[in-house]
Amino acid sequence: MATPENHHGDSSDLETAEKIILRWDSTTSEEAKEKNLIFQSGGDRDEVDRYLKAVDELQRHISSISISDEVKAASSTIQIAMARLEDEFRNILISQTSTFEPDSLLLDSSLSSSSFASSSHTELEDDGNVEEEEQQQLVDLVLPDESGSDSGSRRLSRSRRSNSKSTSSIREIDLVSPEAVSDLRSIAQRMIGAGYSRECVQVYGNVRKSAMEMIFKQLGIVKLGIGDVQRLDWEAVEVKIRRWIRAAKVCVRVVFASEKRLCEQIFEGTMEETCFMEIVKGSALELFNFPEAISISRRSPEKLFKILDLHDALTDLLPDMEEIFDSSSSESILVQATEIQSRLAEAARGILTEFENAVFREPSVVPVPGGTIHPLTRYVMNYLNLISDYKETLIDLIMTKPCRGLQCTNDPNNPDMDISQLEGISPLALHMIWTMVMLQFNLEEKSLHYKDEPLSHIFVMNNVHYIVQKVKSSPELMELIGDKYLRKLTGIFRQAATKYQRATWVRVLNSLRDEGLHVSGSFSSGVSKSALRERFKAFNTMFEEVHRIQSTWSVPDTQLREELRISLSEHLIPAYRSFLGRFRGHIESGRHPENYLKYSVDNLETAVLDFFEGYTTAPHLRRSQ
């Protein structure tokens, strides 16, 4: 390709150059009208070289002459040349845009580690189907107006989240073919050298901005104002967030990076930054309008995890953006992205505090049937479990301790936590423990709404045990909470189990005591049969009542249920066996012994297996034959 040269041509060279230029003047030349384009695909490359040399010759002539008439004539010819080059410049850009392949934005996972594919799968784990995502085409990377069939609800059933941080992920692609880049650079050099830089940049900007708009449309990035986002259902917003993250990675790491390289290739140190910003500034502002709207939207607990996803995505993209938007003219885009990241972080902190307060204030007073796990307990622990999945991010974001409970007050009317006993753990862990303290306090308050005292203890036992098991089942949560607080919770549910046994079985077991059965001064057996019959009758009545009621209670955890049955059996069965063995003969020798000796030891052992099964109707008690 011809390049400008700095030497004087003679008059014959000038005349030849003028003829070549005028031959391609479409306003006067029939040949130019018929041929249409100099830089056409498969065209005469020699003619391209001749035309560029002619422009160079004319520009050299203008720079070397001082006679006004000659300058005027040459300037007129150069205007014709610039008009032609402007048309050629525009046509090359448009022809390359029209042959753009959408699939070129899809990044092949078989490429090097700088490929986008490896990092894009991070967000796909929400959907639980990475294999399907690997087969998706560009249309699946959209951010559509409609929410589609893909459910956005992932509030409490999210699969484990992998590290979203990626290594150097910029991947530049050819937005324009290398041959076309060479031609565009040659034209730009002549136009800028002749003082037509404004026209050159304007044409370039108009065409490439249109191309950028087409790419955004293909990626499904649509204009959504703050009001538009806030009017959407959150489930629809969740879908848009996941898809925005994928599209944003393509835009920054592929589209913007490639656009910048194209500007550098064409304008080579002259006006590339001006052209780049002319093209991408509007699109970049449009791209980041969506997360900005999310960052200032109304806060609520279910939004936390998608806000963190957005925060992580921006955090992941910022190093790439710093590399792409590295000039003073593009600083505003980087500043906007950084400010949005900061607002998302602040939103996450605010939501966590609001969640803690919501746990404390949760107002439901209707007891859950059978003393089983309260929905609040499940919600809170699943929520904390998800928070632990984001601990890498949140440990950096949560820098202050909970504002309440800074010292132990022993006030029974308020949740309490002695932070001095939890030295050395992170502020995030303190917030999570504080949330569990408030949950436990709320559960204690809810237990008071049970009319049956033993059932209130079963309720506390079930729910605190559930909290302990959820912590133990999550290595991330366990690492944050630590053994010390877990031991405290274990003591609480075991204490509740002990309180249940005392509230239920002390009275029952009292009916099997010896006191009051022996007749003082009697020369008979020394046992009052009437008192003994009353004892057996009282035991039968109380046990039947306990069985009828507590077989409808629920202890969902199999191991805990079995441990509780074993514990009560260890107190009940030996006491009953001893009492029955010592006094059976006194009842059997009297009238209607079957009315008093209703149950064998085996009958009781079998009946205990019905306890805490959550039956709708109590099963029938089997009597001894």
Q: How confident is the model at residue 117 (pLDDT cuts 50, 70, 90)?
A: very low
Q: What local confidence, expressed as pLDDT, does residue 200 receive?
A: 94
Tokens of 500: 């249940």
Beta carbons within 8 Å of 624's beta carbon, 6+ residues apart: 597, 598, 599, 600, 602, 603
Beta carbons within 8 Å of 622's beta carbon, 6+ residues apart: 603, 606, 607
Residue 123 has pLDDT above 80, yes or no: no
CA distance 335 to 326: 11
Tokens of 618: 């109590």
Give the chain's mean pLDDT: 81
Of 386, 342, 432, nearest to 126 by C-alpha is 386
Residue 157 has pLDDT above 70, yes or no: no
Q: How confident is the model at residue 235 (pLDDT cuts 50, 70, 90)?
A: very high
The burial class, CB within 10 Å (0-12 / 13-18 / 19+), for 488 is: middle
CA distance 486 to 506: 30
| 465-479 pLDDT per residue, tens | 999 999 999 999 999
Residue 2 has pLDDT above 50, yes or no: no
Beta carbons within 8 Å of 397's beta carbon, 6+ residues apart: 311, 345, 348, 349
CA distance 203 to 279: 11
Tokens of 410: 């022993």
Q: What local confidence, expressed as pLDDT, does residue 559 receive?
A: 97
Which range (99-113, 273-287, 315-329) has the least confidence?
A: 99-113
| 503-537 pLDDT per residue, tens | 999 999 999 988 878 766 544 557 788 888 899 99
| 169-194 pLDDT per residue, tens | 888 888 889 999 999 999 999 999 99
Tokens of 591: 């009238």
What average pLDDT does this structure show over 443-467? 96
